[in-house]
Amino acid sequence: MAEPASRAEAEAPSTGGRDALTHRQIMTVLAGLMLGMLLAALDMTIMASATKTIADQLHGQTIQAWVTTSYLITSTISTPLYGKLSDILGRKPMYLAAITLFLTGSVLSGVANSMYELAAFRAVQGLGAGGLMSLALAIIADMVSPRERSRYQGYFMGVWGVSSVAGPVVGGFFAGAGTFAGIDGWRWVFLVNVPIGIVALIVVAKFLNVPHRRVDHRVDYWGAGALAVALVPLLIVAEQGREWGWGSGRSLLMYVVGAAGVVAFVLVERIMGDEALLPMRLFRRSVFSLTNMINFVMGLGMFGLMMSLPLYLQIVKGATPTESGLLTLPMTAGILVASMGSGIVISRTGRYKRFPVMGLAIVSAAMFLFAQIGVDTPLWQTMIVMAVAGAGLGLCMQTLILAIQNDVPARDMGVATSSATFFRSIGGTVGTAVFLSILFTVTLDNLPAPAGAGGAVDLNDTSFLATLPPAQARPILDAFSAGIDTVYLVGGFVMLVAFVLIWFLKEVPLSDKSGIQRAADDEAAAAPATVR
C-alpha cells in the first residue's frame, strides 16, 4: 500500500501531513530544476568573462551596458509575471515557457551583427531568465519546509559552483577563439545554451510533477505595463545621462515618465488587490517589505561588484577572458562555502538573522578594500578580497529569500518568491547601468590629453592597449583603475545602507511545513467555514 500512496502524493494534491514529498521525489524534481538553473548560471558566468571581447568585436565597448541592461529589464519585468502566472496555471508550464524563451533568445544572440542587435536579443533571453531562477526557488518552497530547505540548497549551490568554473573557461575559450566549427568563436557563448536547454526541456517535461492548487486570479497585464513604463525610461537615463547631461531636457523627460510609471504602477496594484503582480497587502508585513528593500539595495551594490571585477582584470591587469573567469574563483568559493555552511546551521537551529548581518558587514568591508586596488596591486591580494566578498554574499543571498518565503501565506508563495528576485533584479539593473556610467565618466575625466596614445582614446574598443608601449598605456590603465576604484567606493557605501537596514529585520521562527502542506492546512481550515 505504501507505493501507491507515494505515487498518489506525487500525482495529485492531498491534505494534511501526507502532502510531504519523499526525498526521492524531491531529488527527481531537483534534477529538472538544476538543469534550468544551469542555463541561467552558465549564461551569467560566461557573459561576465566574455563581455569585453564581444564588445570589442562589435565595436561597442561604451554601450556594453545596453547588453546587460536590456537583459535585466526584461528579466525584472517578467519575474513577477512568472510568479503570478505560476500561481494560476501551475509551476511546470511556466518553467517550460521560461526555458523555451531563453533558448530562443540564445539562438538570436548568436547571430547578432551589432551591439544594438545583441541588446535586443538579450532582452528576449531575459524574458526566459526571469522565470528560471524565481520559479525554481518557488518550487523548492512548495516541496520543502524552511527548516529543511538548506538540505537541498547545497545542490543549487553546486550548480553555481560548476557553472562558475565551467562558465569562464567555456566563455573565455569561445571569446578568444577566432572561429569554431566555421562560426565566430564569441557566437558560441550563446549557442552553447542550445543543447543544454533541449535536455532541460525534456527532463522538466517528464519529471517536474508537483501538486498544484489553482488560484483563480486574472493576470495583471496593466500592472506589468505600468512597471515597464516606470523602469525603462529610468534605465535609459541611467545609461545615457552622461552624454545627454543629467539635467538636460531629455533626461528630465525620462525622469518624469519614469516617475509617472511608478505612480501608475502603485495605483494599478491597489486597484487589482489580490490579483496584482505585487499585492499591496504583502507590504504591510514588516519582514516582507524590509527584506525586499534590503534585496534592492544589495542587488544594486552586488551587480556593480560583479560587472566591474572582470573589467578590472581584463583591461587593467591584461588577463584573457578565460584567465579573468578563473581568477574570480575565490569569490565563487566564498559564496559556495558560506551558503552551504550557513544553511546547515540554519537547519539545525532555526535561526537565520545573524547571517545576513555578518554577511553585509563583510561585503561592505570588502568593497572598501576593492576601492584601494590599482594597476600595481598584486593579484593575490585582490583574490583574497574576492574570497572575503564571496563569503559575505553567501551569507546573505539565500537567507533573505528564506525569510520572505517563511513569512508569507502559502497561497502567495509564487508572488512572494518572485518579489525577492524582482527587487534584487531592479537593484542590479540600476546598479549595472549607473556603475558602468560612473566607471566610464571617471575614466574619461582621468585621461590626460592626448592620453599619451597619439590622440583621443576610443573606449569602444580597448584591444589597442595590448599593442601600446608600457609608457603610453600606463596613463590609460591608471584612468581605468581610478574609475573602478570609484565604483567600489560608491558600492561600499551602498552596502553599508543595507547593513544598517538589516538590524531592523524581525526574525520569525522557521516553519516545519512545506508550502504544499501549509496550503493543504489552509484549505482544510477554510472547509468547515465554507460548509457552514
Q: What is the pLDDT of residue 11?
A: 40
Tens digits of per-residue pLDDT, 343-353?
A: 888 888 888 89
Read off the C-alpha cell for 113: 551583427
Based on the number of CB atoms within 10 Å of its own CB, is 2 exposed (0-12), middle (13-18) or buried (19 or more)?
A: exposed
Radius of gyration of the chain (CA): 23
CA torsion sign for 314, 316, 317, 318 is: positive
Q: Which of 216-220, 284-288, 491-495 has the lowest mean pLDDT?
A: 216-220
For residue 416, what pLDDT is reported? 87
Averaged pLDDT for residues 417-439: 82
* Beta carbons of 302 and 431 less than 8 angstroms apart: yes
Q: Which DSSP string do the residues of 356-399 spell out, in sequence order?
A: HHHHHHHHHHHHHHHTT--TT--HHHHHHHHHHHHHHHHHHHHH
For residue 152, the one-letter residue type is Y
Helix (H, G, I), strand (E, B) or coil at 184: strand
**pLDDT the model gives residue 19:** 52
Between 66 and 10, residue with greater pLDDT = 66
- In the chain, DSSP finds a helix count (H) and a strand count (E) of 18, 2
| Ranges 361-365, 367-371, 462-466: which has the least confidence | 462-466
Chain segment 55-100, per-residue pLDDT in tens: 777 766 667 767 877 887 788 788 888 888 888 888 889 999 999 9
Residue 293 has what pLDDT? 94
CB neighbour class for 84 (10 Å; exposed up to 12, middle 13-18, buried from 19): buried
- pLDDT per residue over 143-169, tens digit each? 888 877 766 766 776 677 667 667 777
- pLDDT tens sequence across 198-228: 888 888 888 777 766 666 667 788 888 998 8
| The CA-based dihedral angle spanning residues 222, 227, 229, 233, taken in that order and rounded to the nearest 10 degrees | -170
| CA distances for 360 relative to 189, 192, 216, angstroms | 33, 35, 39
Mean pLDDT of the chain: 80
Please report, in angstroms and rounded to a whole number, the separation of the first and last CA atoms in the chain.
Answer: 35
Residue 450: asked if its preceding bond is cis (omega within 30°), the reply is: yes
User: 238: which 3 cell numbers?
Assistant: 541611467
Query: How far is 44 from 18, CA to CA, in rounded Å?
Result: 39
Please write the tens of the pLDDT for every residue from 302-334.
877 877 888 888 888 888 767 777 788 888 888
Taking residue 218's Cβ as centre, other Cβ atoms within 10 Å add up to 11
pLDDT tens, residue by residue, 98-142: 999 999 999 999 888 888 888 899 999 989 988 888 888 888 888
Q: pLDDT tens-digit profile of 14-29?
A: 333 445 667 777 787 7
pTM over 0.85: no
435 or 365, which is more confident: 365
Contact by Cβ (8 Å): 75, 127: yes
